[in-house]
Chain A
Amino acid sequence: MVEIKNLTKIYPNGVKALEDVSLTIEEGEFVAIIGLSGAGKSTLLRMINKMIEPTSGDVLINGESIVAAKGKKLRRMRRDIGMIFQSFNLVKRSKVLTNVLAGRIAYHHPIVTTLGLFPEKDKQIAFEALHRVNILEKAYNRADELSGGQMQRVAIARSLAQEPKILLADEPVASLDPITTIHVMNDLRRINRELKLTTLVNLHHVDLALKYSHRIIGLQGGHLVFDGPSSEVNDDVLRQIYGRELLEEEVLGDVEDLEV
């Protein structure tokens, strides 16, 4: 369970990215955070694993404050939170397997991992993670030989190797083409169901958010303007989030309509 309490972030340059946001995310939920660029989606997501430090407020992960955590304690808490990124953030020169094993680092003493001495069990976990996202056959390829969609699947496998309780996805499909987007979103939904993994996804596309998530969180100018089930999202809600109604061309459209 993630409890976000009166979370506020003001950047040093004075920009108020997020103001007094409170939410509770239950275990196993698939939540989409939507809003315009600069609405505070990324800031909110990155404060959940303290990649960004809040100005005020608190984030509790299963009752424990990550905001107060430091050093070893913080690393231990981050280990239980997987994260995937818009730009995949793989080490392109390294092998896929090495990239996935990187998700196991926080389980061991730095000396052990620095020498590259991952136990056999970890390799098994890495292979299983790759298998779960259907990319096991690329385990020994270099990451830079993969396509964008494949890289994002490796990044998902890396966070799965962490055996996390929560998965944060910051614009995971923003640099992918529509078809690959659907594959990656399907993977995320399947993992959410199979592993009961609490998943929070930042999304640009409203229709993707509505299609995949149970619950929508709408941000506008750093404020929480909507929090409810996807079924309750109507034009009024979208107008609140985006400041106006969406035009037809701003909606991605169904994949079935796309020519391959």
Chain B
Amino acid sequence: MSRTSRSDMNIPKKPLELKKYFSIALFLTILFASGWFADFSLIEVFRGIGETKEILTKMFFHTDWSYLSNLLGPLKETIQMSIVGTMIGSIAAIPIAVFSARNFIKNKVFTAFWRNFLGVFRTIPALVFAAIFASVFGLNSFSGMLSLAVFTFGLLAKLIYEAMEGIDHGAVEALEASGASQLSILRYAFVPQVLPQYLSFILYAFEINIRSASILGYVGAGGIGVYYQRNLSFFRYERIGTIVILTFAVVLVTDAISAKIREKLV
């Protein structure tokens, strides 16, 4: 292309990027304002460095490896809690997700009701559920499992109905036109399109649950968290280090396996 033809082009003027600068200013304002509200002080942070360093050294340089054998039992319990909780929660999520999907149920009041119902479950943290269940069902892993099931239920139901609303609507239309009933449309248009995502959501929930399961014991809901609580109250940081490293290893392994499977699914 010749130079002259290039000068013929009417390149539009670059628009002012006011919006960008405004966003940055807004972000900085919020950052500093929230620091001020929270009484954040850098001086305090520096003062705390010495103590923090001491604790971290205990945790990761004087780690009590002999403590590991005490942890295997509770670790197994934590993993069991997560598996069962994830399973129960993700099965229970299916009907409510179906009730909430606007492209499946046309009654807006009905879907809104179930959506808000799910909102309640996502507002309450798993730890709070664990505390409530522990006071009802006692200080055991059943309470922990139940709180994970409830958390998974809230999370998965939302993810599923959003996946349902994201499907290609053509197949639904075709089935409707052929005289298929709602149940058949669910089975032959929604299920095949949502199933791989659903399985991937279950694994994702399991990843989160393994992580939160290790802290649930803190409020007495069984598993490895009980040992966090026990050792923290006696300032046994070299043992806390052992628990952290073990939990980290388990989380790493689950994430890796789950990522591998999810890759294959979608």
Q: 1/0 per residue B128-153: CB within 8 Å of A?
A: 00000000000000000000000000
Within 8 Å by CB of A110, from B173, B176, B178, B183, lies B183
B residues 4-55 near A (Cβ < 8 Å) are: none
Q: How far is the CA of A51 from the CA of B196 in the complex (A)?
A: 30
Looking at A81-89, A131-139, A190-198, A249-257, the stretch in contact with chain B turns out to be A81-89
Q: 1/0 per residue A104-121: CB within 8 Å of B?
A: 011000110110000000
Within 8 Å by CB of A92, from B168, B174, B180, B184, lies B168
Further contacts, 8 of them, CB under 8 A, given A77-B179, A89-B170:
A83-B174, A88-B170, A90-B171, A93-B192, A106-B184, A110-B183, A159-B178, A162-B178
Taking residues whose C-beta sits less than 8 angstroms from the other chain, chain B's interface range is 20 to 34
- Residue numbers of B with Cβ under 8 A of A are 168, 170-171, 173-181, 183-184, 187-189, 192-193, 196
Is A214 an interface residue when CB atoms closer than 8 A count as contact? no
A191 to chain B, nearest CB (A): 16
**A79/B179 in contact, CB under 8 A:** yes
A35 to chain B, nearest CB (A): 22
Is A165 an interface residue when CB atoms closer than 8 A count as contact? no
* Neighbouring B residues of A75 by C-beta, 8 Å: 179-181
Within 8 Å by CB of B177, from A76, A78, A88, lies A78
**A105/B171 in contact, CB under 8 A:** no
Within 8 Å by CB of A105, from B168, B170, B180, B193, lies B180
Q: How far is the CA of A207 from the CA of B174 in the complex (A)?
A: 28
**B177/A113 in contact, CB under 8 A:** no
**B171/A114 in contact, CB under 8 A:** no
* Neighbouring B residues of A78 by C-beta, 8 Å: 176-179
* Neighbouring B residues of A9 by C-beta, 8 Å: none
Within 8 Å by CB of A94, from B176, B180, B192, lies B192
**A51/B174 in contact, CB under 8 A:** no
A110-B181, A110-B184, A113-B184 in contact; A105/B175 too (CB < 8 A)? yes
**Which A residue's beta carbon lies closest to that of B184?**
A105
A12 to chain B, nearest CB (A): 14
Is A155 an interface residue when CB atoms closer than 8 A count as contact? yes
